[in-house]
Structure 1
């Protein structure tokens, strides 16, 4: 079955889309991909909705900024989706739609993703599976990470020696450990690129630390790093997840941009190293994917702390589109009632399916 998946992550880079051929258990083939970057004006709309979500925190009336941000997300998904459909020469049988996360509070069973699945289904004329976190949250799970079962499928597809670990470095970093018997252990390790991006943007120095040049030119502040690593999040064991805004950045004003970037890069790597100690066995190899895989300073820090690391691109995967592919894979699993989350990935009591299905009702394509 040809399935299209989307991801618009908390790094606010844009909307990624990818097609794969899958039955929800195996990957048969990879189809076309595309990304539509957010313009400055579009990013401002989503950032405002995110700020309002953090202030709202799930209490009281939903902020009015959610609606225009949601409409924008759907419009961009339709635009980039039509582009990939044209390249494929046919419409997919199904779409996996994650939506744009504004707030993640798993301890309260709350995770907010905007974007109307029915509007997307109607616009593209294709059934859409969305809201894939909610069943897990209602069952007491963390609702995240969602991608581990797809990481396991990638390990099968490539015949990787196990145990193997996938580390996705987006706004937040999360890992998946795939054991020899298919056992999955997964959780958010801590910050990814998000905090570095925030500091760079606050200084008017761009969108992100391009090529890791700021971090490479700076020095790690050991005292600040120790304070960051003392956060309660790192004391928890087992399945756990977080919001990219869970760590303070008030200290960054006391540092140069270069030293702040160096310290935050070290923070991301040290948090992963702490997470590695919680795994059942050391992985044979770490596969790094997401935006962080393109940052030489971060990759050097990870290799220093983890040992053998390869980027997803190194092994012929599409690093920037793995999460979009995963949404397609999860949609296919949802359609068949297969589990999306597991005790070892979200802490849910038993393997659990999820997602809701929206059929198009207004489109004759």
Structure 2
């Protein structure tokens, strides 16, 4: 049995809203204890830089290249993560020497697995040096290089959580960030995962462009609008939705879709319905109908989205990760703490049923503090 470690996980997702921080005790198989969690929001200037970094990354063919603003964006991402950890340790009176490991996802600026290319900016060596702690980073690259989709990475953590609850399935854990992804769990042997389509990204971009606000808080704007069901049906004709898992996509995969001409509320309602419908559309592609969809991520705080999802998956139930004692907000950060420990122990991070890689595969790069 491997030794249990206290690990901090860091996640900055495709929504680009900030850095989530969480601490857990784990041996890479079980979650033995949940520590506190925290959040460091990006400033509007930082968000603007990250949005520009997405545009400057479009033409990348070398994952180590940093054209345009990418060098500055990488510096800012690394500094923000360091600040997030330092503030977290201070806020919770955690002694640095009690932390065994940090799991650092970085910020995805390009994800094109068909070209065996995935790019997460963030200087793992620099973060380890600043924090004086060992850091595991670059956790997607090995899977993509081996022909996998490189995403999602969180399923093995979802399974550990379900085991801890005594839940065997069939059930789905849904993470709704910028992109939505699911883990299908049915006992200990069946683990299937994939991206399902848009999460908050299309909606966030639309709301920002039309109102100047970064997102539709609590789904209030969408709740006032009318869904254009014909638009949703047409959008679901995209070939991505008929492909069986595993599959993944870039944050901007559906960026060409437009609700131009609709009011802010009707556009928000339609895009929210599209996210709900695309999540529901995965169910027929799975071995058995899931009886529950457990929702985590930023979308879990959007009651309009949850209501729309519930209507589309009935009789299956929508459950909140928080209601199970999990953390909808901190789950991905917790997962990268869990994955860092698995990486340190050379345990698999990805599997044929989660990313399409030929065989279960570990990943990640370990950076040690100086000295």
Short-chain TM bin = over 0.9
How far apart, CA to CA, are the structure 2 residues paired with 1:26 and 1:59? 37
Q: 2:14 aligns with which of 10, 14, 20?
A: 10
- Structure 1 residue 173 corresponds to structure 2 residue 176: no
Partner residue of 1:29? 33
Q: Deviations over 1:196-218 (max 9, x none)?
A: 00000001241111111221111
Match for residue 90 of structure 1 among 95, 102, 108: 95
Q: Which secondary structure state, in structure 2, belongs to the residue aligned with residue 176 of structure 1?
A: strand
Q: Is the 8 A contact 1:161 1:284 kept in 2?
A: no
- Which piece of structure 1 moves more, 344-353 or 208-217? 208-217
Of 194, 198, 212, the match for 2:201: 194
CA contact (8 A) 2:202 2:255 kept: no
Correspondence for 1:266 among 245, 264, 273? 273
Following superposition, the deviation at residue 327 of structure 1 comes to 0.4
Please give the secondary structure, in 2, of the residue aligned with 1:339. Answer: coil
1:156 corresponds to 2:167: no
Question: Given that residues 168 and 185 in structure 2 are in contact (C-alpha distance below 8 angstroms), is that contact kept between their aligned partners in structure 1?
Answer: no
Confirm whether residue 74 of structure 1 aligns to residue 78 of structure 2.
yes
User: Structure 2 residue aligned with 1:350, among 322, 341, 359?
Assistant: 359
How many residues are treated as equivalent by the alignment? 361
- Counterpart residue number, 2:61: 58
Q: Compute the displacement of 1:250 (Å).
A: 5.2
TM-score by length of 2: 0.94
Q: Could you tell me which residue of structure 2 aligns to residue 140 of structure 1?
A: 147
Q: Answer whether contact 1:32 1:88 (CA < 8 A) is retained.
A: no
SS in 2 for 1:254: coil
- Matches of 2:112 and 2:177 in 1, distance apart? 18
Q: Which segments of 5 or more consecutive residues in structure 1 lack a partner in the other structure? A: none
Over aligned residues, Cα RMSD in angstroms? 1.4
| Secondary structure, aligned partner of 1:207 | coil
CA shift, 1:361, in A, is 1.4
**Which residue matches 1:315?**
324
The answer (yes or no) to whether the contact 1:201–1:207 under 8 Å persists in 2 is: yes
Whole-angstrom CA distance in 2 between matches of 1:154 and 1:328? 14
Alpha-carbon distance between aligned partners in 2 of 1:3 and 1:33, rounded to the nearest angstrom: 12
2:53 is aligned with 1:49:
yes
User: What's the CA shift string for 1:239-272, capped at 9, x where partnerless?
Assistant: 1000111113453222111111111111111111
TM-score, with normalisation over the residues of structure 1?
0.96
CA distance, structure 2, for counterparts of residue 354 and residue 250 of structure 1:
34
The 2-side partners of 1:344 and 1:29 are apart by: 28
SS at match of 2:105: coil
2:370 maps to what in 1? Answer: 361
Structure 1 residue 110 corresponds to structure 2 residue 110: no
Q: CA deviation at 1:156?
A: 1.2
- The 1:211/1:52 distance shift into structure 2, 3 A limit, reads same
Q: Is the 8 A contact 1:152 1:182 kept in 2?
A: no
- CA distance in 1 between counterparts of 2:229 and 2:318 reads 25
Q: Does 1:333 align with 2:333?
A: no
Paired residue secondary structure (2:206)? helix
Q: 1:229 to 1:130 in 2, by over 3 A?
A: same
Name the SS for the 2:258 alignment partner: helix
Correspondence for 2:333? 324
Out of 342-351 and 223-232, give the one that drifted further.
223-232
Q: Which one is further off, 45-54 or 193-202? A: 45-54
Q: Structure 1 pair 107/317, CA: closer, same or farther in 2 (3 Å)?
A: same
**Distance in 2 between the 1:190 and 1:33 partners?**
27
Unaligned runs of 5+ in 2: none
**Contact between 1:293 and 1:299, CA under 8 Å: does it hold in 2?**
yes
Quote the Cα distance in structure 1 between the aligned partners of 2:51 and 2:220.
Answer: 25
Distance 1:190 1:250, change over 3 A: closer
Task: State the distance in 2 between where 1:117 and 1:244 align.
Answer: 23
Shift of the alpha carbon at 1:62? 3.6
